[in-house]
Amino acid sequence: MSEPPLKKKRRTILDFYQRISRTKCEVVKDKVDLKGTQEAHMATSNSSGNALTSQKLPGSIPGSEIDKNDNKNLDPQKTKLLRDGKCAPVEGKDHTKSTQEANMANKNLPGSTPESGESNNVNENSDSKQTKLGKAASSTDKSSPGPDDGDICEQESEDWEETLDSQSSDNFLSSSRAIPIKKPTPRKDGSQAWKGIPVKGLKKMPDCEEKLGPLKGSESHVVLFQTPYEYKEQSPPKPYAHYKDKWDHYHVRMPCSDQNEFPVQEKHGKKIVRRWDIITRALSGDIKDINDLEAAIISYSHRYFEKWDFQTLHYFFTKDLEEQECREFFSKTMKKMQKLAQKLPHLCSHPIPLLKKGQSKSVTFSQQQIACLLANAFFCTFPQRNAKQRFSEFPSINFSSLFTGKPDSVKMEKLRCILHYFTRVCEKTPCGTVTITRMHKSESHNWDEMNTHLLGLHVSSEGTIEDDGEGMLQVDFANKFLGGGVLSHGCVQEEIRFLICPEMIISRLITEELAPNEALVMRGCERFSDYDGYSSTFKWKGSYTDKTSRDQWGRIYCEVVAIDALVFRNYKSQFNHDFVLRELSKAYCGFFRRLPQEHLPAVCTGNWGCGAFGGDCRLKALIQLMAAAHARRDVCYFTYDDEKLRDDFYKIHSYLTTTNRFSIGDLVKIIEEYRKNIILKSQGKPEMNIFEFILRIFDGSLENTDEYSHSSYEMRFLKESGRESSFSSRGATGGVTLNVNWESESNTASLKSTSKSSTSRQYSQETQIQKLDMSTAKSPKGLALPSHWAPIETGVVSVLLDPNDRKQTIRDEYAKVAKHFEKSMTNAEIKSIKRIQNVLLWQHYALRKKEMEGKSGVGNVNEMHLYHGTIPDTVELICEENFDFRNAGSRKGALYGQGTYFALEAKISDSYAHIDGNNHKFMFVAQVLVGKICLGIAEYKKPPYLDE
């Protein structure tokens, strides 16, 4: 069996120091007859005058041997062609995005092997004017999606016009190949695309920036150039004078290291030499075409001779680009890239630390250093990773995966973005800096008990994070291996961001796989390219000039945080309590900064963890809103043309922040109730989403079920999940009585105290849970509720008493409870006092009081205000079911019989109140119907009769 021509050609690369003869790749001439259609072969000329036959059919790479036989068997009725540079419309279909984008959005998770043929179509040449490399040219979009591009390429043949127009190719830096994404159309009704806070009302950099001093390095912040440093527009930072090498597990293993060794076969056996010597020799040569480039890379990467086939790179330079473009690139940009790569020991003279798991550490590069490092990545000079276990959790950095394998249209566009970047930085050296920070948060958060409220929201169906999030903290929907498939397959949100801002790729060099409690922040990365499309329709659109201002350290005011979401193959599993808490912690880790709130810009995000990762967009929106609130930031959210999601998100945010002041802890509990009562009881994906659940259970429109009616749910939730204060009972009744007014008919007060000697700082924010109308509340059964109660008809409400409330009655109520408590608890600090309103238990109490008054005949039932201390774990049970005499003596015995024990003074009940994890104790103040008093004994199971 004869050897394939490409392998046979590559077998000539045997001498690591000799250049292979520069021969043109053999062009496979393959004609395909289309039955019933016009001839589809367009001939052009190459530098040797040979005719190139180019079959412009989706799913094939014309002129490549790998598709030689495929084109012959194509069904002409399945061929999807172009009309006026766009896909012909099909009724009922959205041609701006494929419905199978989730499958195309390959994030290259560890161990996965993405499909390589996502979009193998190649554009017809257009007759647009040629431009020089590095210059953008606008022209009509002539791109066609391939057969694997989802619904956009799976329509019936009669819906498409089978025509092929002869076009001449634009250069690889033009915008002629861009398929536009769906652009916002003018709104005839004059309506807005956004709701909530105007963008101008959100905090942004540099307006909210904290003033920086001169840049200096520290143990937790490594600066790779000379400091102190302040940005100068025309002068890049100066590297350290002498190269220092660290070849260990904690630093990047540099190509120029003396320990980067390479075996060379000589007459008398193998000899070990410095690999950098071979690299510099190869990059000092005259690289005139793709064959020379391949020979140079293989000369110092002999072990990958068989693995790296360079098919994509060969196709790009021989088929995708015009011959003149190739000559110009290799004669100008390539030579500058070679020189830039060889400057590595001079520009990157300081050891580059690895950002490993469990660290909170920063590394600041100059943009010039990043360009040099990426040039080395392009030439594949870095020692290969993943060969040994110690590097198995680092992403690859060499561009070999992008160069190798079956070509497709997305790879072509990726190469355009990357080569455009090199053209720009080789023409003009960038002078700024970039800081990459790994954020690690070891402390855990009790999200279920968190009393923080949601903050502001701007939500829009139009716009993108990178285009409209200037000055905000922009979210990268990341893979745990940074960059995902940017250097291989996959082209969704993260990959696109890395392609238009290639300096972000350098994060792959230093960042180990992200742990669940970690995030990565990239600050100062410049944008070099514009784009259109998404996933298989991604197209490089042209050069982009980033006019964003810079800070004192020379960093562009662009801060991007990479947070990786969990992948959910089963839709229901994402509502699991542990998974919700994981996503909350991940987002919070990325959003949190130890800065005053006035210096924290808004979070700019969108449908994080949705699409290919299987996340529910409404759940993820709520999670990000909660995490941002805890991090003290507003949110700017883009729904990507989903107006229904925009309206729903705005409505639920308004409800949660105005009508009912829900805390983060409340929402965590609501999500769990949604899982138990909707998710687990539904077959497949439920019809009612989480937003509808929240709205319907509290407006009473949730349909009753045998076990879960609106009223029962509302009472249960309000008992279990209180609002706002750090008081961990979630709505409570105090013993056999209710409420909190010290002199009212029946009262219960819940107090939370902490020792003044405690050194733990308290962060709980005590704010009133509702704007209360103090009009008379009504009982549904005719029993008048206490006049000082907030309006309530059913369920339980816990009302936080604010000593600084604008209402005098609230202030007086707080003062009376606090004064009596402090008589015997002089060393305790009251953290909060809440009035508990429980309609059902109030009715029972009122009826029992009337019964006792009737029996006594004089109306004196001996009501007293008494204290009851308890452990944190039983607070919620007491709140829901009142004091349970059956639990009497369970901890310290029942000296005076089976019953509920109270004390006249708080200091006595204090010994029964145990502290929680926040050094807080809990105590109830109850109004009790005591009746006549007698001395009890341990044998009593119920109160004795009076005649006894």
Q: Does 476 participate in catalysis according to the annotation?
A: yes
Question: What is the mean pLDDT of the segment spanning 228-243?
Answer: 92
B/e letters for 274-292, b = 16+ CB within 10 Å, e = fewer, are ebbebbbebbeeebbbbbb
Q: Are 517 and 444 in contact (CB under 8 A)?
A: no
- Is the confidence at residue 731, as pLDDT, over 50? no
**pLDDT tens profile 796-825:** 777 888 888 888 888 888 999 998 888 888
Question: What is the mean pLDDT of the segment spanning 21-42?
Answer: 33
- Is the confidence at residue 936, as pLDDT, over 60? yes
Q: What is the mean pLDDT of the chain?
A: 75
Q: For residue 39, count CB atoms less than 10 angstroms from its CB and return exposed for 0-12, middle for 13-18, buried for 19 or more.
A: exposed
Higher pLDDT, 202 or 794: 202
* CA nearest to 723, candidates 820, 585, 837: 837
Higher pLDDT, 926 or 89: 926
The reported pLDDT for the residue numbered 871 is 81
B/e letters for 745-764, b = 16+ CB within 10 Å, e = fewer, are bbbbbbbbbbeeeeeeeeeb
Q: Which helix (H) or strand (E) holds 523?
A: strand 518-523
Question: What is the mean pLDDT of the segment spanning 596-625?
Answer: 96
- Is the confidence at residue 12, as pLDDT, over 70? no
Flag whether 570 is marked binding.
no
**pLDDT tens profile 67-77:** 333 433 434 33
- Of the given ranges (173-177, 422-426, 501-505), which has the lowest mean pLDDT? 173-177
Cβ within 8 Å of residue 924, ≥6 positions away? 732, 734, 735, 748, 749, 750, 751, 867, 868, 869, 870, 878
Q: Are 785 and 842 in contact (CB under 8 A)?
A: yes
Q: For residue 781, count CB atoms less than 10 angstroms from its CB and return exposed for 0-12, middle for 13-18, buried for 19 or more.
A: exposed
- Is the confidence at residue 232, as pLDDT, over 50? yes
The reported pLDDT for the residue numbered 93 is 37
Res. 930 pLDDT band, cuts 50 70 90: confident
Question: What is the mean pLDDT of the segment spanning 873-879?
Answer: 72
Written as six digits, the tokens of 206 are 């540099």
Res. 764 pLDDT band, cuts 50 70 90: very low
* CA nearest to 869, candidates 825, 792, 921, 795: 921
Q: Within a 10 A sphere around the Cβ of 834, how many other Cβ atoms?
A: 27
Q: Are 534 and 451 in contact (CB under 8 A)?
A: no
Written as six digits, the tokens of 205 are 């950099």
Res. 794 pLDDT band, cuts 50 70 90: low
Flag whether 597 is marked binding.
no
Question: What is the mean pLDDT of the segment spanning 747-757?
Answer: 45
Question: What is the mean pLDDT of the segment spanning 15-40?
Answer: 34
What the chain holds in terms of domains, given with CATH numbers, is 726-929 (3.90.228.10)
- Is the confidence at residue 499, as pLDDT, over 80? yes
The reported pLDDT for the residue numbered 857 is 63
- Residue 442: phi and psi, rounded to 5, are -85, -25
**Strand ranges, E, within 66-145:** 82-83, 86-87
- Is the confidence at residue 236, as pLDDT, over 90? yes
Q: What is the pTM of this model?
A: 0.62
Tell me the C-alpha distance between 153 and 533, whole Å. Answer: 15
Q: What percent of the chain has pLDDT over 90?
A: 47
Res. 586 pLDDT band, cuts 50 70 90: very high
- Is the confidence at residue 724, as pLDDT, over 50? no
- Is the confidence at residue 258, as pLDDT, over 60? yes
* Catalytic annotation, pick one of 294, 328, 476, 518: 476
Written as six digits, the tokens of 798 are 């816990």
Q: Which helix (H) or strand (E) holds 908?
A: helix 906-910
Flag whether 534 is marked binding.
yes
**pLDDT tens profile 385-437:** 865 566 789 999 999 999 999 999 999 999 999 999 999 999 999 999 999 99
B/e letters for 859-881, b = 16+ CB within 10 Å, e = fewer, are eebebebbbbbbebebbbbbbbe
* CA nearest to 723, candidates 779, 776, 670, 671: 670
Written as six digits, the tokens of 36 are 């019933």
Tell me the C-alpha distance between 152 and 833, whole Å. Answer: 61
- Is the confidence at residue 890, as pLDDT, over 60? no
* Catalytic annotation, pick one of 118, 495, 616, 766: 495
Question: What is the mean pLDDT of the segment spanning 477-494?
Answer: 95
Higher pLDDT, 116 or 767: 116
- Is the confidence at residue 88, as pLDDT, over 90? no
- Of 738-752, 833-847, 929-943, which has the strongest mean pLDDT? 833-847
- Is the confidence at residue 515, as pLDDT, over 60? yes
Q: Are 913 and 922 in contact (CB under 8 A)?
A: yes
- Of the given ranges (359-368, 421-430, 452-461, 939-948), which has the lowest mean pLDDT? 939-948
* Catalytic annotation, pick one of 67, 101, 449, 494: 494
Q: CA distances (Å), 588 to each of 104, 441, 650, 704, 765, in order? A: 29, 9, 21, 36, 19
- Is the confidence at residue 100, as pLDDT, over 60? no
